[in-house]
């Protein structure tokens, strides 16, 4: 397809140099509260290594909080989170974040750094790589997300879709075992959404495990290995996309889908 700059976008999976090894994810009876307000109530889900889980549900249902718990930006009050069978709740949060990448709706790029600078900085700070090696890896990752010609641009000189690709390249550069995406296309102009979704669909073939919070029902239907529907802090239904979209069991999911589609 064509991206927003009119250049041809790679719709293939990202190159083999970025072949990643995903971890199996196991979330067990997770509770999370802000003060007295229970945001997550016994959330459990399992994702096999290398699969894509799409999380859908109304605003305020706890989707972002779940992702924040998965990379220890928020600490659950009960339950467990396991990567390849091992609890991550007792590992140091900074060490965990080397294994778990996250991409946000608002990109969260450093405005004073170029595209390549943003990726390089992550490699140097998080992995302690020397400048030359960080630069080489940053160039590779940016090329893979279709930004070979935009490496020296600052965020303000990039479209939203391009900024989001920089954020994705930055997370990918750290070779995460688990990557979390929180409504990463929600802030994009409609014409930029498809390119980023195609990129993410390609990443699904890289071997890493992905948890994707999204309002893009067609994306979830097309690329998810499983879809998890949350409401009021609980997992109401989970299953393969054919079941969730084709044969929703609960009234709440039926109502949600009828409002979304």
| Cα-based angle 189, 192, 196 (whole degrees, multiple of 5) | 130
26: closest CA among 50, 48, 41?
48
Query: x/- string (CB under 6 A) for ligand ADP, residues 65-84?
Result: x-------------------
Q: In terms of CB distance, is 64 or 71 closer to ligand ADP?
A: 64
**Distance between CA 14 and CA 6 in Å, rounded?**
20
Q: Does 259 bind ligand ADP (CB under 6 A)?
A: no
Q: Does 114 bind ligand ADP (CB under 6 A)?
A: no
114 backbone dihedrals φ, ψ, rounded to 5° = -70, 175
258 binds, among Mg ion, ligand ADP, none (CB under 5 to 8 A by kind): none
Tell which one of 47, 50, 51, 61 touches ligand ADP (CB under 6 A). Answer: 61
Q: Taking the chain, what is the end-to-end CA distance rounded to the nearest angstrom?
A: 24
149 binds, among Mg ion, ligand ADP, none (CB under 5 to 8 A by kind): none
Which residues, 120 to 149, sit near ligand ADP by CB under 6 A?
Answer: none
Mark the segment that binds ligand ADP (CB under 6 A) among 62-70, 144-152, 158-166, 249-257: 62-70
H helical segments located in 46-189: 63-70, 93-96, 115-127, 131-144, 160-173
The residues that touch ligand ADP, with contacts defined as CB under 6 A, are 34, 37, 39, 57, 59-65
């Amino acid at each position: 397809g064509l991206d927003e700059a009119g250049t041809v976008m790679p719709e293939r999976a990202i190159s083999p140099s970025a072949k990643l090894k995903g971890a199996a994810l196991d979330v067990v009876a997770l509770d999370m509260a802000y003060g007295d307000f229970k945001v997550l109530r016994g959330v459990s889900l399992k994702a096999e290594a290398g699969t894509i889980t799409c999380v859908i549900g109304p605003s305020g249902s706890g989707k972002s909080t779940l992702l924040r718990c998965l990379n220890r930006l928020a600490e659950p009050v009960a339950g467990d989170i396991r990567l390849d069978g091992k609890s991550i709740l007792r590992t140091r949060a900074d060490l965990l974040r080397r294994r778990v990448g996250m991409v946000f709706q608002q990109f969260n790029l450093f405005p004073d750094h170029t595209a390549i600078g943003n990726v390089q900085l992550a490699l140097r700070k998080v992995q302690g790589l020397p400048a030359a090696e960080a630069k080489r890896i940053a160039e590779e990752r940016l090329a893979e997300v279709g930004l070979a010609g935009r490496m020296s641009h600052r965020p303000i000189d990039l479209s939203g879709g391009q900024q989001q690709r920089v954020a994705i390249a930055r997370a990918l550069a750290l070779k995460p075992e688990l990557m979390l995406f929180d409504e990463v296309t929600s802030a994009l102009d409609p014409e930029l959404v498809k390119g980023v979704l195609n990129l993410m669909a390609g990443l699904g073939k890289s071997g890493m495990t992905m948890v994707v919070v999204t309002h893009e029902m067609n994306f979830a239907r097309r690329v998810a290995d499983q879809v998890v529907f949350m409401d009021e802090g609980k997992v109401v239904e989970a299953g393969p996309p054919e079941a969730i979209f084709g044969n929703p069991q609960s009234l709440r999911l039926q109502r949600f889908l009828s409002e979304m589609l």
